[in-house]
Amino acid sequence: MPSVYETITEILTTKFAVPAQAIAEDTALEDVLTDSLDVVEFGVVVGEHYNVLISDEELETVTTIADVAALMGSKVAA
């Protein structure tokens, strides 16, 4: 079973056409996504994958891909 980080990476590459080489744990979402709409869209897609909802407040707390992985890890475990 892939890790949360691996799943997020796959969503970024397959659904958002982000080159794999541009993705690292400390990569900021806003640096690889098209605009702020896409950052929110990314949250919707990741949430849908794990069948959880990410609130605007939660999304505001994340900057990097590692942050997203940590947030999703805690929400999926909860």
Partner 1 sequence: MTARSGIVITGRGMVTPAGSGVDENWKRVSAGEPTAVLGPDLGVLGTQVVCPVTDFDASLHLGPGARRLDRYSQLCAVAADEAVADAGLRTGEWDGARVAIVLGVSVGGVETLTAQHVALLERGPAAISPLTMPMSLVNMVAGQLAIRLSATGPNLTVSTACASGATAIGTAMQLLRANACDIAIAGASDASLVPLVLSAFARMGALTKRSADPARASRPFDRDRDGFVAAEGAAIVVLEREDDARARGASVRGRILGYGATSDAHHVTSPHPEGTGARAAMTAALADAGLSAADVGHLNAHGTSTRLNDQAEAKAVRAVLGDQVPVASTKGVTGHLLAAAGAAETVYASLSIEHGLVPPTANLDTVDPEIGLNLAAVPRRQSIQVAMSTSFGFGGQNAALLIGAP
Binding site for partner 1 (CB under 8 A): 15-17, 34, 37-38, 40-41, 44, 47-48, 53-56
The DSSP code for 20 is: G
CB of 64 to partner 1, least distance (A): 20
Q: In terms of CB distance, is 5 or 16 closer to partner 1?
A: 16
Q: Which two tokens stand for residue 63?
A: 């900057």
CB of 47 to partner 1, least distance (A): 7
Q: In terms of CB distance, is 54 or 72 closer to partner 1?
A: 54
Query: If DSSP codes are grouped into helix, strand and coil, which group holds residue 64?
Result: strand
Strand partners, 64: 28
Q: In terms of CB distance, is 6 or 15 closer to partner 1?
A: 15
Distance between CA 11 and CA 31 in Å, rounded?
A: 16
